[in-house]
Chains A and B, each alone.
Chain A
Amino acid sequence: MKRYLVLIIIITVFGSCKKWLDVQPQSQVSQDDLFSTEDGFKEAINGLYSRCAQKDLYGKELLGGFPDVLAQNYTIASDDPVHYKETAIYNYKDADFISRKDSAWRGLYNVIANANLILEKVDKQQAILTPVSYALVKGEALAMRAYCHFDVLRLFAAVDAGGKGIPYVTAFSKDVPKMYKTGEALDLMLKDLQAAKTLLATADPIVSAGYKVGYPIPDSSTEQNGDLFVQERRHRLNYYAVCGQLARVYLYKGDKANALSNALEVINAHKFPWTRQSDFLNPDDTKKDRILYKELLFAFYIPNTTEELRRLFRNSDRGLYISIQEGRNLYETGGVGGEDFRYKQWLSEQTVSSTNYLRLEKYARDPDNNLHPQMAPAMRLSEMYYIAAECTFDTDPAKAWDYFNTVRLNRGIGATLNDPSKTMFLQELVKEARKELYGEGQIFYMYKRLNMPITGQNGSTVPASSAIMVLPFPDDEIAYGNR
């Protein structure tokens, strides 16, 4: 008996020892602590978006930085004040370029790791979450994992399914993540996105009929109803954003049927109205909608990088800008683009030391009184039309042109196109998308996916090649991951 007593004492002492030694940090939050409440999960989800909104990712660099430079969107001053000149000529050994693309890689995988941590905990802690929170948390974490992987893939992987892919990371671990070929990685993304779509289909407030998208004040939108966590669904990966992302990924994979059905799901939901001309063209800065806010399926909330963006785009000719000639060429102001609202609203003619140039106004802010918050567009309604158009052209060119013309009409281009040539169609589509997505970091991916030559400045073209379109992995990744 005595022996057992001793044993029991030893077990209790050591058992409680372990517990006693488990000190939870107070000025930092330990993961166990964070994921012990529903609020913790919500904060972790918000953390994913906050991380994305930093300047190395969608807050600046992936928004209007090097991907658009690679797409030859900007004119760069000869003394290269923001160090993009080498990037524009595809010198991938340039230190500034390496630092930017490596930061993007590191940042995206950092978001992925954060998402993985949430996913690791969310099923274990399902009991403490309400069903809606559970669906939103898990769905958005899955969608975010796919979203970030997709951008890594679009930057660093080969286009063809069997080509060099990326590590697809599904666990928070120090072990070297496994590499997947492009096709495999795309399938993994689709799996995550489909799962997210299922979870969000019922839980996401945006799908309810009463949910109205619009500007916070004048449109009596319902985007700010409810608990803070379920507000502003378009600032997070909502159900339609997941559909849009699925459309993107299916199209990248070449599965046009599925791409179309997802794009159409967004379009036919009629959740996202075209922006009123009166808002887009409003001469009053405070009432002007510069980014076509209502058409955004998904965008990042980035008030913290306003100053960064101002320095990048609006710092006289010390940042990224476009020469008058190139701007006019881009928007075809001599032809169909004569009345293109976008040219007038997004580019303004400026003079510095008697040289004229066009300044990008998309992200300009009046300090306090804008119609909508500072956003980084991530997915637009127009892109859904483009995807729908591309997916239907093979079967129904007229229908495809129809999608195309719809967008143009809403941008002030009345002239419609209807040409049966696929080459012609794709050229027009890319040209149009470039106008629409200028300064949003998306057009480079389109050139890459379609393997189309990049229209350079001064009439030059850069032939598509994997040498320039597949960015090299970071050195650290190669060295420590044996890639």
Chain B
Amino acid sequence: MVKIHAGYTGGGLALALLIQLGSLTAIGKAQGPAIDRSVYYVQNNTQDQEPLKNHLAHMERRYNIRINYVGNTVKGIYADAPPAKDPATRLIDYLNKFLLPLGLEAEQVGQDQYILYKKSGTKPADHPITPADLDIAPVNVAAISAATTAAVAGELQQFAVSGQVTEESGVPLPGVTVVVKGTTNGVKTNENGKYRLNNVPPNGTLVFSYIGYKTQEVKIGNRTAIDVKLLTEVQSMKDFVVNGYQQLKKESYTGSAITITGEELKRFNPQNILQSIQASDPSFRLVENNIAGANPNQLPNVNVRGTTAIPTGDASQLSRTQLANVTNLPLFILDGYQVSIETIFDLDFNRVEMVTLLKDAAATAIYGSRASNGVVVIQTRAPREGELELYYNYELNVTTPDLTAYNVLDATQKLEYERLAGLYTSNGVNSADELEKMYYAKKKNVLSGINTYWLSQPVATDFGHKHSVSLQGGSSTMRYGIDARYQTNNGVMKGSGRDRYSLSNTLSYQPKSQKLLFRNQFTLSQVSAKASPYGNFDQYVNMNPYYPIRDSAGRLIREIDKWNYRGFNDKGEDAGLTATVLNPLYDATTGSFNKSSYLEFIDAFSTQYTPTDALRFNATVSLTKRKTTEDVFASPLSNYYYFYSGDALKDRGKYTYTSQDDMQVDGYATITYNKALQNTHFLNFSLGMNVQATKTDIKSFSAIGFTNDRFTNITFARKYEDNTAPAGDIEEQRLIGGFLSFNYSYQNRFLMDGTVRVDGSSKFGTGSRMAPFWSYGIGWNLHKEKFLQHTAISQLRLKATTGLTGSVSFPAYLSNTTYQYYTGSWYSTGVGAVFTAYGNPQLKWQRTNNYDVSMELGLFNDRVYISPRYYYKLTRDLLADINVPTSTGFDKYKANLGEMVNKGYEVYMRANVWRTRNWSANINVNLVHNTNVITKISDALKSYNDQVDKQQDAKADLATAPLLRYKEGQSLNTIYAVRSLGIDPENGKEIYLNQDGTRTYDYKVKNTVPVGDQTPDIDGYFGGSLIYKSLMLQVNFYGKVGGDIYNQTLVDRIENANPWYNVDSRALALRWKQPGDHALYKDITDKSLTRTSSRFVQRENRLELKSVYLSYDAPATLYKKLKMKNLRFALTMNDLFYWSTVKLERGIQYPFARSFTFSLSTRF
């Protein structure tokens, strides 16, 4: 049970801390002593008296309450045992009656929770407060007669209560309704949040309610001044864990769940919700993508607490980004139904109320076969009762490219590098004179001042806007809400971007009886993505700085340069050849495009029936329909077709159209039963089942032969692409499951959780259609125990959970032997069908055994909170290829074999280090460490390793990258390369180590061994916030210590850099040039390919300034004038600063960006 504390604060110290405690309700703080009507006298004789502490402990046991106090408060106070409580007396009255004579007073802070204070010196507020002091705004709910003091019954005496209502942050809340419970006697707070209410009975209760805030009930007791801080409904939700099926009290929950409000997430990165979740809990990890950089259309790959899948597939389809293709995503649940990561990626941030991240088995087991990779539960805002209100939010997003990772040569240096690399010494084609001529032609360019910074050509600082409007209101029976959003997000590569439009509507109806609730919500989203016509960024990095972009007339130069070299021509003859350098900027002037868009419709309907307080029935059904289309057009005039000639000319240009239809029906029904027995046993049962059916239908085809790029519609194509057939695929899967989950706590001291789930999936083999999953967790609230009460430890909870969860992230029909037709080649007696692969009917889900122990420690009324956790996940039955003798008719099949362990620890810390009336400073640190070990793999993966070796020898683009292999005892983060001893100072060659430890100059891929591990020793986010009145500053850093990294830049851009193109500046400075040089990089004239070796493995420490957030709440005087109900300005800056011990080019195909978001939000 961890909360990400918002860091809000205000004047009421105790209150703010109590909110962190997770109590159900909070009340105002008593500011004056009450009027005593009966007093226990303090006896001077202390001999028969016991320490007050003992009495308090006795009361706690007897009345099953909790009394908090600091040791000093009760030190040295002795008292007689008080008489037993009269059942009619309220506990708080009883307590105060006992305590007031002792110079103490009690305050109720929650159900059965009390706090003890030394009585403050304030004088009883028995003098009337004048309306002038308070500027009261009376309301007509009741006639207020300020002077009335008539006793109504018995001792009852009516008096006036006054005070101030504020937000948690201390900002006054105007318009809050304050009513005496059960009466019509009430007022509204004025614009300073102040109120005064007359005719209040001393044993009455005040109800503070306001839209968007949790209603609070405060017992008046004997006070005349009651200040209240209202919690927003969202914040109060943090006391609960919402797992998609149930809502459980956090205090009695043993699972590992992180709850973050939408507001908190937005403060981190208002453009990317997934990034924000990562910052709140680093065990939710977005896999770094150095290739795609800050491409706004790149969906991130996410894993929670490490990877639990082995990439399957063919070694012949290896790519450098092997691991990026592993499907290991957590399950995303939006308002109870499963959605894709793309839906979350494009979700309107303003609609997000709360995100709950479920991590261990106790938390996720109710999702059974889908639970192994963690579950992200997202709730959207529900409309609130009240008058029609309009929320408006505007964001201006500015992104600027971050090119600091690039350090390329300038024109002079580059030409010098070319000369040193021997380009002008000989090229096998031209004579020495001709080469010299070429050199001086370029030299002339350099001297004439041409020094083009190509990197800045395709990028630009761009703006994006977001307008989001939300309308809501309604009565207690009928509520409605409409959200509309328009959002553009332009990437830093010119022309790229992602536009999102969405409209959603929520309608809920609750008949007067309050037993039934119907709710319907539909969401319509349109997202259009376009890629930059400028192509990949690396093209620009490669361009030589001495090339001019335009000719003297200002036209783009298309053919910029030619390089002659010797090689084999098409006929295989050795000949002089020419490579032409084309201007990549030219492509942007053609009509090529690459765009995709989708329209998504989601409708969810839910019914809730609550016959009694203890029992609840819930049923939800949702329908998701999404249509995606992708249009990619390569113009016939683009550089790709530059060399086409003759007949091929008419086949230039290509249009590829892809459409994808997704359909999902998801439904669940639950029965929940809550019961408290004698205030000792708290029970919570849930029984539920869910059903899900999804279908994906993909079709695509390509056409070629366009005449020009003015006619880009596919109808202008000449024909279908040669030797291709239209492609299509339909995948359908179904899932059904039922679960029983119970939660029990004994006196809130001992906690227990358990879940059993049975899942059936169409993906499982026919031999094992149903799968059982379970979890069990226990916890102990030590702070409820006597020995820890009234100490500095305000919270101490120990929890341990275990369980079995599963994942089925494999294609739909693996368990089925399927046939394919020889559609392209009929046999003379008809079309033939042969089986494609052996479908293993025994195929089942991957199973993960989870173990999790954690502690939560709160000190000094939770001003300091530390929660360390340790987890261990053993994933068995990993889906892997099993090789069989080919005499079976096939060479491998999929089976469940292989084991992997993920273990690690997570530490969450936060502290309120400084707090005064106007100031508050908080720091927070979240650190994680995850270790991944493959403990068992199949033979097929061993032979896969041999395949990788082969591929690495055969394919040039793979030869220089560290490819993943699988070895027992190693991890998925292991870097595999040939061990290197560095560069021989004598001859500039690299020295390698053979497996037996001998030295060699010969590179052999067979000598590849594990040479590094990318797992950081520790990494995480840390930062702090500073609040001054209505100003707030929050800063977040990401830090990483340790972990190896294979510096691809050194390989690709220094050693294997083709001197025809621009290179990293280190290529000129740090390469071996003459004997005796102790250089890091090999001989500058050596053009041989540098292969994957340990020389490029570097240890990385990193620090990133991820976000800076600044917000200001405008004063009421300002927004009132504008007829607004509030007004907030905020500025978020993301990815401002990046520092690493490894100098690596980042954002290969798309550069990284810094982004600045200015936002304005208001309410009418």
Contact = CB atoms under 8 A, between A and B. Distances in A.
Interface string A464-483: 00000000001011011101
A176 B939 CA distance: 15
A254 interface: no
A116 interface: yes
A150 to B, nearest CB: 14
B820 A177 contact: no
Interface string B799-840: 000000000000011001111111001111111111110111
A49 B826 CA distance: 10
B369 to A, nearest CB: 12
A177 B886 CA distance: 10
A28 interface: yes
A20 interface: yes
Contact of A49 (B736, B820, B827, B885): B827
Given A31-B816, A106-B886, A476-B883, A21 B730 contact: no
A43 interface: yes
Contacts of B818: 25, 28-31
A301 B886 contact: no
A177 B736 contact: no
Contact of B816 (A27, A30, A166, A480): A30
Interface in A5-36: 17-18, 20-23, 25-31, 34
Nearest to B818: A28
A479 B831 CA distance: 36
Contacts of A27: 728-731
Given A109-B889, A173-B888, A177-B887, A21 B829 contact: no
A304 interface: yes
B81 to A, nearest CB: 55
B795 to A, nearest CB: 44
B725 interface: no
Contacts of A441: none
B831 A169 contact: no
A30 B884 contact: no
Contact of A25 (B728, B812, B835): B812
Which size class do A's interface residues fall under?
A: 35 or more
Interface string B752-784: 000000001110101001000000000000000
A425 interface: no
B891 interface: yes
Contacts of B835: 31, 113-114, 117
B821 A301 contact: no
Nearest to B766: A22
Nearest to B889: A113
B732 interface: yes
Nearest to B825: A304
Nearest to A81: B572
A232 B829 contact: yes
Please classify the interface of chain A as helix (H, G, I), strand (E, B), loop, or mixed, using the class held by over half of its residues. Answer: helix
**Residue of B764, B766, B830, B883 with most chain A CB atoms under a 10 A cut-off:** B830
A304 B882 CA distance: 33
Contacts of A164: none
Contact of B833 (A29, A373, A480): A29
A114 B890 CA distance: 10
A174 B736 contact: no
B509 interface: no
Given A20-B734, A30-B816, A43 B821 contact: yes
B742 interface: no
Contact of B813 (A25, A42, A48): A25
B733 interface: yes
A481 B761 contact: no
Contacts of B657: none
B893 interface: yes
A229 interface: yes
B885 A30 contact: no
B832 A477 contact: no
A45 B828 CA distance: 12
Contacts of A42: 830
Interface in A385-433: none
A474 B813 CA distance: 30
Given A29-B819, A113-B890, A229-B829, A18 B760 contact: yes
Contacts of B766: 22
A105 interface: yes
Contacts of A50: 822, 825-827, 831-832, 834
A169 B887 contact: yes
A48 to B, nearest CB: 7
Contacts of A198: none
A48 B831 CA distance: 11
A43 to B, nearest CB: 4
Given A30-B818, A42-B830, A50-B832, A480 B885 contact: yes
Nearest to B940: A480
B732 A167 contact: no
A252 B820 CA distance: 36
Given A18-B769, A21-B760, A47 B834 contact: yes
A304 B723 CA distance: 14
Interface in A96-136: 102, 105-106, 109-114, 116-117
A457 interface: no
A172 B835 CA distance: 11
A106 B830 CA distance: 24
A228 interface: yes
Nearest to B758: A14
**Residue of A25, A44, A106, A301 with most chain B CB atoms under a 10 A cut-off:** A25
Nearest to A33: B819
A169 B884 CA distance: 14
B832 A31 contact: no
A235 interface: yes
B691 to A, nearest CB: 9
Interface string B727-749: 01111111010000000000000
Contact of B832 (A47, A231, A303): A47
Given A18-B760, A21-B761, A43 B889 contact: no
A25 B829 CA distance: 26
Contact of A232 (B729, B822, B828, B893): B828
A231 B829 contact: yes
Contacts of A45: 832
Contacts of B736: 17, 20-21
A102 B886 CA distance: 9
A46 B833 contact: yes
A29 B821 contact: yes
**Residue of B816, B825, B827, B833 with most chain A CB atoms under a 10 A cut-off:** B827
Nearest to A35: B819
B829 A105 contact: no
A228 B821 contact: no
A214 to B, nearest CB: 15
Contacts of B831: 43, 46, 50
B820 A23 contact: no
Contacts of A303: 825
A404 B729 CA distance: 57
B832 A169 contact: no
Given A29-B818, A29-B820, A114 B889 contact: yes
Contacts of A111: 889
Contact of A112 (B839, B889, B891): B889
A307 to B, nearest CB: 12
B812 to A, nearest CB: 7
B830 A228 contact: yes
15 contacts: A23-B732, A25-B812, A25-B816, A46-B827, A49-B827, A49-B832, A113-B889, A172-B817, A172-B889, A177-B885, A177-B888, A228-B830, A477-B885, A477-B887, A479-B883
Given A50-B827, A172-B838, 9 more contacts: A17-B760, A23-B812, A25-B812, A30-B818, A34-B833, A110-B834, A304-B825, A477-B885, A477-B887
The 4 closest A-B pairs by CB, nearest first: A113-B889, A481-B885, A50-B832, A47-B832
Interface of B: 728-734, 736, 760-762, 764, 766, 769, 812-813, 816-822, 825-836, 838-840, 882-891, 893, 939
